[in-house]
Amino acid sequence: QGEHTVSITVVGASGDLAKKKIFPALFALFYEDWLPEHFTIFGYARSKMSDEELRNIISMTLTCRIDQRANCSEKMDKFLKRCFYQSGQYNSEEGFHELDRKLTEKEAGKLPNRLFYLSIPPNIFVDVVRSASRTASLPSGSGWTRFIVEKPFGRDSESSGELTRSLKMYLEEEQIFRIDHYLGKELVENLSVLRFSNLVFQPLWSRDYIRNVQLIFSEDFGTEGRGGYFDNYGIIRDIMQNHLLQILALFAMETPVSLAAEDIRNEKVKVLRSMRKLKLEDVVVGQYKGHTRGGKSFPAYVDDPTVPNDSVTPTFAAAALFIDNARWDGVPFLMKAGKALHTRRAEIRVQFRRVPGNLYRGNVGTDLDMATNELVLRVQPDEAIYLKINNKVPGLGMRLDSSNLNLFYSERYQREIPDAYERLLLDAMEGERRLFIRSDELDAAWAIFTPVLRELEEKRVAPELYPYGSRGPVGAHYLAANYNVRWGDIS
């Protein structure tokens, strides 16, 4: 057995995701010595560029961890020296042949492994995989070739199935790493730890004690610059069908047989397949309109020149989902996702049932909801887990108050939390598939959302307009109220 080498090719190297996320994540891994000793990074894109030019572009987005700035620039130089560039078309084999030649040269004398990161628009996925897999695949037995692919994986069940079939013409399922970067976030990773290694939560994790679960995503900026992509997909496909649904699956799945990828993914598929198809009456859609605040004006979604003036694409949606199994029967899982809202936040809120026959009803004030326990996992920003409990206000009287038991990551851990892409890239190199989406999971996820997406689009359901920077359409409150629920993030 000789020494191994890993080459990572970022296809779509000049795109936003590559510059903002992938190269910085690779550097962070290098910085903390997580990359193998022998590695090479290639950028691949259409524009002509020298290695040096690519390095200049990459270097602008590299940063070092706060606590280790001392040798930062030295490390950056070392990293950049291992980055190279190859230009070529996405649908022709020529560029990939040349890439193959250069990769082979660098791999000389070592056991080669190749990772391709497809950071490209979905309409050219298959072209690239076809070209890259024919020209840049390795002789069998010498190592692995893996492809990380980014969503969107189609627009509905049908197109997603088609994409899967096309990819499988060139690749084995085990070579395909479908990324959902929310699965690489620290708090999402911690969800299973919280559930399965804390006895206090285990017995509570069901319809017997949980009244509803809320999955909330909000951003305080619009689709600026991405309107062209976004208008084709909308918030339900952009955030709900993947990021929020993946979190829901981890939240609600049964205990897996082990922590092995297949065991976890088997449980996720099961819970996804137990979910009811979403109905139109359980969805509220919204779209942001222009707004002026403090002398500053914020654009409407349709002001984007790449978005049609009469677009009905939702930039906000709220939905009530149900899992028809023994554990979750009747528990609403409420999702809410929106752009151009008042804040940037992602969180999971678990609202527990009321205490039956609560002795202290009269002491909580008039608002009985105050008295229910709520567990919050704040995924971002300022990662935290907190539990709302009721306690007595100190003093001679008897008045109850709701207080938080807090675990704030910034207080508890004096270290920076790695970016999701760092963990996922590392896992892909190590062949760890736990945090990647299997094709049957994807099918199950689309099955839940496809009918409602179709109906929304066929009927051109008009989204409720909400001002840029607001808390979103009031329709979301009515939806929750239908299930006797109040959104926990609006207090």
Residues that bind ligand BG6 (CB under 6 A): 181, 219, 238
Q: Which is nearer to ligand BG6, 235 or 323 (by Cβ)?
A: 235
* Whether 342 is catalytic: no
Min CB(211)–ligand BG6 separation in Å: 27
Contact by Cβ (8 Å): 370, 402: yes
- Axis crossing angle, helix 51-59 with helix 72-80, rounded to the nearest 10: 150
Min CB(187)–ligand BG6 separation in Å: 12
Structure tokens of 158?
């049908």
Q: Which is nearer to ligand BG6, 344 or 392 (by Cβ)?
A: 344
Query: For 262, what's the count of Cα atoms within 13 Å in the CB-facing half-sphere?
Result: 2
Give the chain's count of helices (H) and strands (E): 15, 17
Amino acid letter for position 8: I
Q: Are strands 333-338 and 345-352 parallel, antiparallel or unpaired?
A: unpaired
Which residues fall within 8 angstroms of residue 185, CB to CB, at 6 or more apart? 379, 380, 420
Min CB(181)–ligand BG6 separation in Å: 6
Contact by Cβ (8 Å): 163, 125: yes
Min CB(219)–ligand BG6 separation in Å: 6
Min CB(248)–ligand BG6 separation in Å: 16
Q: Which is nearer to ligand BG6, 234 or 332 (by Cβ)?
A: 234
Query: For 65, what's the count of Cα atoms within 13 Å in the CB-facing half-sphere?
Result: 17
Which residues fall within 8 angstroms of residue 350, CB to CB, at 6 or more apart? 210, 213, 214, 374, 375, 376
From 4, 181, 243, 342, active-site residue: 243
Contact by Cβ (8 Å): 240, 445: no
Give bridge partners of residue 45 from the DSSP assignment. Answer: 87
Question: 194 by DSSP, 3-state: which?
Answer: helix
Q: Which is nearer to ligand BG6, 219 or 441 (by Cβ)?
A: 219
Q: What are phi and psi of 252, to 5 degrees?
A: -100, -10
Q: Which is nearer to ligand BG6, 27 or 230 (by Cβ)?
A: 230
Contact by Cβ (8 Å): 54, 85: yes
Min CB(122)–ligand BG6 separation in Å: 12
Q: Which is nearer to ligand BG6, 42 or 421 (by Cβ)?
A: 421
Min CB(281)–ligand BG6 separation in Å: 26
Q: Which is nearer to ligand BG6, 275 or 379 (by Cβ)?
A: 379
Q: Which is nearer to ligand BG6, 100 or 219 (by Cβ)?
A: 219
Min CB(180)–ligand BG6 separation in Å: 8
Structure tokens of 121?
């628009």
Residue entry with tokens 């198809």: 277
Nearest residue to the partner ligand BG6, using Cβ:
238
Q: Of all helices (H) and strands (E), which one includes residue 179?
A: strand 176-179
Q: Which is nearer to ligand BG6, 95 or 463 (by Cβ)?
A: 463
- 352-358 long-range Cβ contacts below 8 angstroms, 24+ apart: 352/204, 352/209, 352/210, 352/211, 353/208, 353/209, 353/210, 353/211, 354/211
Structure tokens of 484?
């006797």
Which residues fall within 8 angstroms of residue 393, CB to CB, at 6 or more apart? 399, 400, 401
Question: 465 by DSSP, 3-state: which?
Answer: strand
Structure tokens of 231?
């208008």
Interior angle at CA 35, CA 34 and CA 40, nearest 5: 165
Min CB(12)–ligand BG6 separation in Å: 15
Cα torsion 350, 206, 452, 168: sign: positive
Q: Which is nearer to ligand BG6, 146 or 181 (by Cβ)?
A: 181
Residue entry with tokens 């690779």: 26
Cα torsion 226, 227, 229, 231: sign: positive
Min CB(436)–ligand BG6 separation in Å: 15
Which active-site residues does the annotation give? 243
